[in-house]
Each structure stands twice: as structure tokens, then as C-alpha cells.
Chains A and B, each alone.
Chain A
Amino acid sequence: MQEKVIEVQHLTKKFGEFTAVDHISFDVFKGEIFGFLGANGAGKTTAMRILCGLLESSSGSAKVAGYDLKYQSELVKQHIGYMSQKFSLYEDLTVQENIMFFGGLYGIPRMELKEKSSYLVAQLGLGNITNELVGSLPLGWKQKLAFSVAIQHQPKIVFLDEPTGGVDPITRRQFWDMIYEASSKGLTVFVTTHYMDEAEYCHRVSIMVDGRIEALDSPRLLKEQFKAATMDEVFHQLARRAKRNAE
């Protein structure tokens, strides 16, 4: 049996009368790339925010990185990384300053960070940009850099909230290469995405509809189960069942 790094049981989140997340249960294993899909308003962002400790659940339980979310959320936060499409890095700070800042947040010593930052930039093949403002970089570079920054404190799990939104296909491909590399080293990747071709890259995929997980398996088995050629078809078959309007 593989090591479980996320264990979710009957997790529920209610906003007043509205049940955004409705008794979901699933496990994610170490080193897995776990795709978390769902239409807008299906509740995937809410669920992900709960797992990152950004929101409190209404009921149910979840263990992330081996710690109970309810009672050990600080420990959870120390062992996860988080990156979202909405915001990745401070645009008015330089590449190095961003690395130093986010590293500092997780308590990485300054000296170590200084060495790391030039190594990190070199590894990304971005040339000599350590002292450039992030705002001046192309979006694709920013996202790759943001991913590196999100995992520089060596978390057990990294949560990616639509990390490749608005990025060109080539850069997306490169981004996924980075994800694969990190996962091969034992990092668990929990990713939400709108791109169904990206869903094919995941080891396992869950699809949320109206706050519930309606399907969870590897892309290959899901396609067999729904008799579909692509993940896109699987997704649409499920999404059509939704009764809720998109928010």
C-alpha cells in the first residue's frame, strides 16, 4: 500500500444554505499527480482552499501531509506549497527578492536562499534575470518561476490552482515537464485545471459536479468507464448532469 499524503473523509462546506462541498471523500498518494477537475461553481476551489488551510470545513475530516487540518493547520501549512493562477509572484519585486521573500516565509535561512536563487534561475534556463523585476518577465516564465518558488521549501504536497491559465501550449508543456520531474522525486502534486489535455497528464483525476465527486480514477480507466475517446468527453458527460448554475 502506498503512503497516503491526503486523506479526506466526508468533507463538507456550507455557506449558509448553500452546500459548496458535499461530503467528499478521497485519498491522494505520495508522488502522485492528482487532477482535481470540475466546472466553475462545482466546488473544487472551495475544496482546495480547505485543504490548504485557507478555509475551515463545516464537517468531515481531512489529513494533509500527515497532519489533521482541524488541529494542526500550522504544521500542514509548513509542509505544503501553494500556487494560484490569480497571483504568483510580486511584480514590483525582483526575481531574487521574490525567492528570498517566499523562502523566508517558510523559514529557509537567508544564506541558503541566496545560493539557491541563482541555482534555481539557472536551472529554469531563464538567463541572467535574478535582478529583473518580475513584472517585466513573460507570463510563462513567471509561472515556471512561481512553481519553483512554491516548492523551494521542499513541501510534501504542492497545490496548484489553475497554474497554466493563459499560458501558451509550449510553455504549458514545459510546465508539465517540471511537474513530472518534481513528482518523480516524491512530491505530490494536487492540481486544478480547465484544460482537458492536461487532465490526460495526471495519474488520477477526480471530477466534481455540484459539490460531489462523481468520478475518480486514472484517465485511461475513466475513458473506458464513460466510453469516451478523450477526457474532454468524459468531463462533458459529467458536467451535463450539473443542476447548479455556474457562479
Chain B
Amino acid sequence: MKFRSKSFVFIFKEFKHVLRDRRSLFFLMAQPVMMMLLFGFALSNEVKESNIAVIDQSNDLETIKLIDRFEQSKYFHVAERLTNTNEIDRLFRQGRIRLAIIIHSNFANNLNHLNQGQIQIIADGSDPNTASIATSYLSAILRDYQNELLGDKKLPYSIAVETRMLYNPQLKSAFNFVPGVMTLILMLLGAMMTSVSIVREKEQGSMELLLASPINPIRVVISKAIPYLLLAFLNVVIILFIAVFVLNVPIQGSVFLLLMSSLLFISTTLSLGLFISSVTEQQQVAMFISLIGLLMPALVFSGFMFPIENMPKIMQIISNIVPTRWYYAIVRAIMIKGLGLSSIWKECLILAGMTFFFMTLAIKKFKPRLQ
């Protein structure tokens, strides 16, 4: 009974601290909303309305039809029609075009008589992602065009490649960033806010008072994490709400499972935060460690921005110890692929292990007495 009432006194106080600090609270609640809307509407890795330059050296019926097709698609806009290939470089340098298309002379003639038309695509390699996406769109248009030309005729040999993007047929970027934003926000909130709030007590000297009282220091620390646990969980709900109702990203799998695994990940980040706070004495240091030491690896190694499979071996090995990697995989599995517990138990187990590890370390490291 005594144990419970004392803990309650503590948790109550922590809530007061959090709620009184309006600015931080606003930051905590507004940040996920802003990030979701920013990623949802402003930042997108879909490449739309690319300006292209066309050099039509053939200028016949077929090329006019072809160029019209480019213009018709929502991905391209024929901004420049050139006669001289020398001008291409200038346009790229000025950033006025993403792609240049050169149709060689006698296109229709060659197509009809030699069965071979030639088109050259020039892309801006300084932005490789955009270039390859735009090029693949263009190739798709050309493929369609070719299929229509063939009509009933059959090629003597042909391999029909039919690609289907599973789980995300339209390749909507929201499918990628919603789990990513969730991962980052929770990491930031869990680790940084908790560690800073504990270190604040050390810095302002109140930790001394608490340690001179008969309360168990471990309880002090754990009580501090509880308001952030709830705040972080609230953030998960807000993010999912925006994802489903504003960005139209459906939750394919079990919502309950998603929430539970999020709770697990929040515990992992909180235990990391506790660990940080147990080894630092200044708020600034705690903030620095959380931002540089946690957020950066969280971003790089989660697989959200860069596919882990493409990294050098050593980086792949490092990514295994970054908790965000596992949570990101869990969220994608449940939300986008609609998978169940049987496919994510391994990741959950790893997160649980990490939580246990950091919690134990934090408690061991946390000095019940001052230095």
C-alpha cells in the first residue's frame, strides 16, 4: 500500500511537470502531425510533371504520336523542343529539364522497314533516384507504345515481364513514410524526453533531495518514464489516425497488434532514455546523445530512408543493434503487408531483449548515491 501511494505521488508530480510545460507539450503533440503532413503532401518520392526536352530528328507521324503520349501522361511535360543536341547540356545545367529524349532520324521508316526504331534518353545523374524513377516511367510509356504497334502480331521470341507491386500497387510513398515517421517520433520522444527530464532533476539539484528521502531511486526514475509512455502512445494513435483518414493509408493487419508492438517499442526507447540519463549529468549532453547518438542511427539504419540490403556488410551488421530497424520492420509488416504475430515475433523478441538489456544497464548504472 505504501509502495503504491508513494509511486502515485511521483507519477502525479511528473504529469504536472509535463502538463505545465506548455511549450514542450505543444512541440510533442504538434511534431508528429507536422511530420505526417509534411511527408504526406510536401515531400514525396513520386516524380510527377517532369519537364522534358525532345529532339525529334525524324519528325514523322510515328514520332508525333509518341511525343503526344509523353505529354498525355501526368508524369511528363514537354517543356522544350530542340533541334540541336548541344543545347541539352545548357538546359540540364539550368535545371529546366529532368530528361532529354533524342529520337534519331528516319524513326518511322526504320521502324516499319528495319523493325527497329532508335530513341536515346538522357537523364540527370546528379540526382540518381529521381533520374531512375523518371526513366522507368518513360520506358513504361515506350513499352506500351510498342505493344500497341505489335497489335496481334507476335514476336518470334518474347519474354513477357509483368510486374506487380505487392502491398502497395501504386507505389504510394505514404506506405513507406508512415512507418518511418512513427519510428522516428517514438525514438525522439521516448529517449530524448525521458533522459532530459531525469537529467534536469540532477542538474537543478532536486535529485539530491529525492535521494536524501527514503524513496527508492529506481522508482524515481521509472515514475518519470510513465507520462512519456502515455504521451508516446497518444502520438502513435494520432499518427495512425492521420495515416488512415487523411493520407488514406489503410492498416492491413491487426490494429491491436500494431498498438501492442508500438507499446513494446516505446518501452525500448524509454529504457534507452533511462540509460542515457543514468550516465549523463547535463541536460545538454543528454539531448546531444539522444539527437546525434540515437536519432541519426535511427534514421540511417531503420531502412526508412536507405535500404539496409544495399549497405556495406559492416553497416548491415551495425543496423542489427539499432532498435528502430526492428520496429520499422514490424510496422511495415502489420500495417502494409497485413501480417500477423507469426511473422513478427522474432522482431518483437529482439525489442523485448533490448528493453531488458538497457533497463538492467540503466538500473545498474544509476547511482542511488551521488557520484
Binding site for B on A (CB under 8 A): 49, 52-56, 74, 77-78, 80, 82-84, 86-87, 90, 92-93, 97, 100-102, 104-107, 110, 159
The answer to whether A56 touches B208 (Cβ under 8 A) is no
The answer to whether B2 touches A82 (Cβ under 8 A) is no
Residues of A within 8 A of B65 (CB): none
The answer to whether A106 touches B213 (Cβ under 8 A) is yes
Contact of B2 among A52, A74, A93, A107 (CB under 8 A): A107
B103 to chain A, nearest CB (A): 70
B209 to chain A, nearest CB (A): 6
Task: Kindly state whether residue B204 has any CB partner on chain A within 8 Å.
Answer: yes
Q: A82-B208, A84-B205 are in contact. List 12 more A-B contacts (CB 8 A).
A: A56-B369, A74-B214, A77-B212, A82-B212, A87-B205, A90-B13, A92-B16, A92-B21, A93-B13, A93-B17, A102-B213, A105-B6
Residues of B within 8 A of A56 (CB): 369
Distance of A90 Cα from B197 Cα, bound (Å): 13
| 4 tightest Cβ-Cβ pairs between the two chains A and B | A104-B9, A87-B205, A86-B205, A82-B212
Distance of A49 Cα from B209 Cα, bound (Å): 11
Residues of A within 8 A of B204 (CB): 86-87
Task: Kindly state whether residue B206 has any CB partner on chain A within 8 Å.
Answer: yes
The answer to whether B370 touches A90 (Cβ under 8 A) is no
Distance of A86 Cα from B20 Cα, bound (Å): 22
The answer to whether B16 touches A54 (Cβ under 8 A) is no
Residues of B within 8 A of A100 (CB): 9
Task: Kindly state whether residue B211 has any CB partner on chain A within 8 Å.
Answer: yes
The answer to whether B369 touches A53 (Cβ under 8 A) is yes
Distance of A55 Cα from B212 Cα, bound (Å): 10
Residue from A53, A55, A87 having most chain B Cβ neighbours under 10 A: A87
Residues of B within 8 A of A78 (CB): 214
Q: Which residue on B lies nearest to A159, using beta carbons?
A: B212
Task: Kindly state whether residue B210 has any CB partner on chain A within 8 Å.
Answer: yes
Majority SS at the chain B contact face: helix
Distance of A181 Cα from B140 Cα, bound (Å): 90
Contact of A101 among B13, B211, B214 (CB under 8 A): B13
B18 to chain A, nearest CB (A): 10
Distance of A53 Cα from B206 Cα, bound (Å): 15
Task: Kindly state whether residue B215 has any CB partner on chain A within 8 Å.
Answer: yes
Task: Kindly state whether residue B146 has any CB partner on chain A within 8 Å.
Answer: no
A126 to chain B, nearest CB (A): 21
Task: Kindly state whether residue B5 has any CB partner on chain A within 8 Å.
Answer: yes
Binding site for A on B (CB under 8 A): 2, 5-6, 9-10, 12-13, 16-17, 20-21, 204-206, 208-215, 369-371
Residue from B16, B21, B209 having most chain A Cβ neighbours under 10 A: B209
Distance of A86 Cα from B204 Cα, bound (Å): 7
Count of CB-CB pairs between chains A and B under 8 Å: 75
Contact A105/B208 with A55-B369, A93-B13, A93-B16 known, Cβ cut-off 8 Å = no
B93 to chain A, nearest CB (A): 56
Contact A52/B212 with A87-B204, A105-B6 known, Cβ cut-off 8 Å = yes
A-B contact pairs, 10 of them (CB 8 A): A52-B212, A54-B212, A78-B214, A86-B205, A87-B204, A87-B208, A90-B13, A92-B20, A102-B209, A106-B213
Q: Which residue on B lies nearest to A149, using beta carbons?
A: B209
The answer to whether B20 touches A105 (Cβ under 8 A) is no
Distance of A101 Cα from B2 Cα, bound (Å): 14
Contact A87/B9 with A56-B369, A107-B2 known, Cβ cut-off 8 Å = no
B226 to chain A, nearest CB (A): 15
The answer to whether B212 touches A53 (Cβ under 8 A) is yes
Distance of A90 Cα from B369 Cα, bound (Å): 21
Contact of A104 among B5, B16, B21 (CB under 8 A): B5
Residues of A within 8 A of B6 (CB): 104-105, 107
Q: Which residue on A lies nearest to B211, using beta carbons?
A: A54
Q: Which residue on A lies nearest to B206, using beta carbons?
A: A87
The answer to whether A77 touches B213 (Cβ under 8 A) is yes
Q: Which residue on A lies nearest to B8, using beta carbons?
A: A104
The answer to whether A80 touches B212 (Cβ under 8 A) is yes
The answer to whether A87 touches B209 (Cβ under 8 A) is yes
Distance of A90 Cα from B212 Cα, bound (Å): 16
A38 to chain B, nearest CB (A): 19
Contact of B370 among A55, A77, A80, A107 (CB under 8 A): A55
Residues of B within 8 A of A101 (CB): 9-10, 12-13
A67 to chain B, nearest CB (A): 12
Residues of A within 8 A of B208 (CB): 49, 54, 82, 84, 86-87
A36 to chain B, nearest CB (A): 16
Residue from B16, B204, B206, B212 having most chain A Cβ neighbours under 10 A: B212
Residues of A within 8 A of B9 (CB): 100-101, 104-105
Residues of A within 8 A of B370 (CB): 49, 54-55
Contact of A90 among B2, B10, B206, B211 (CB under 8 A): B206
The answer to whether A105 touches B17 (Cβ under 8 A) is no
Distance of A74 Cα from B209 Cα, bound (Å): 14
Contact of A97 among B10, B13, B21, B206 (CB under 8 A): B13
Distance of A107 Cα from B2 Cα, bound (Å): 7
B20 to chain A, nearest CB (A): 5
Residues of B within 8 A of A106 (CB): 213-214
Residues of B within 8 A of A87 (CB): 204-206, 208-209
Residues of A within 8 A of B212 (CB): 52-54, 77, 80, 82, 159
Contact A105/B206 with A53-B369, A90-B13 known, Cβ cut-off 8 Å = no
